[in-house]
Amino acid sequence: MKPQWAYIWEYGFQGEKNRLRTPIELTKPEFEFWIDQDARSTFLGSCEPIEATRVDRNRVPLIDPRFKMKPKMPEFDAPSDAELRALWREFTDLQVRWLILEILALRKSLDRIQEWFDDVDKNIPDRGQLSGGNGKFQELRHLLRKEKGRAGML
């Protein structure tokens, strides 16, 4: 999982000499949300994160009640089968193992859906409105390819 760095930001407004700091660590989108709440935001001068205050938002969630932002799912790489096997050997916690089994079950479901799709694609001549170059059937094909590629199943 890629880190989402949050910092205490130092900023100032044009025409003012004093520099301000955010009260808590914020990611860039959170800082932009914070600064937009200030009426002087149109006169924002230079702003920069203070590197010494860096924290990973994936590990330190934003719980300040002043921020009503919906958390965004971070970008991540799907674990390979070898990584899942290593996790299975490393963790004996039942909940971790259930998650590993759920990932494997979903991957098998993707394979079964792909088999169904291939069978329909080969054997059914008239698929109606679902077919065609931009039909829902083709959207399903692209979704399956994308998910299988992300999971390393191609």
Using one digit for the tens of pLDDT, what is the confidence trace for 32-62?
A: 888 887 777 777 888 899 999 999 988 888 8
- What whole-number distance in Å separates Cα of residue 120 and Cα of residue 154? 20
- What whole-number distance in Å separates Cα of residue 150 and Cα of residue 143? 11
Please compute Rg for the chain using Cα positions.
24
- What whole-number distance in Å separates Cα of residue 151 and Cα of residue 113? 15
- Give the tens place of pLDDT for each residue, 6-29: 999 998 888 788 888 888 899 888
Predicted structure pTM score: 0.50
96 to each of 75, 83, 88, how far by Cα in Å?
A: 21, 13, 8
Q: Which two tokens stand for residue 153?
A: 């199943």
Query: What is the helix (H) or strand (E) element at residue 127, kind and residue range?
Result: none
Find out whether 106 and 97 touch, Cβ atoms under 8 Å: no
- What whole-number distance in Å separates Cα of residue 22 and Cα of residue 99? 38
Task: Please provide the average confidence, as pLDDT, over all residues in the chain.
Answer: 82
- What whole-number distance in Å separates Cα of residue 54 and Cα of residue 58? 12
- Give the tens place of pLDDT for each residue, 104-142: 988 888 888 888 878 877 877 766 666 666 677 777 778
* Per-domain residue ranges of the chain: 1-76, 81-150
Q: Which two tokens stand for residue 98?
A: 């259930």
Nearest in space to 135 (alpha carbons), one of 143, 149, 122, 147: 143
DSSP code for 53: E
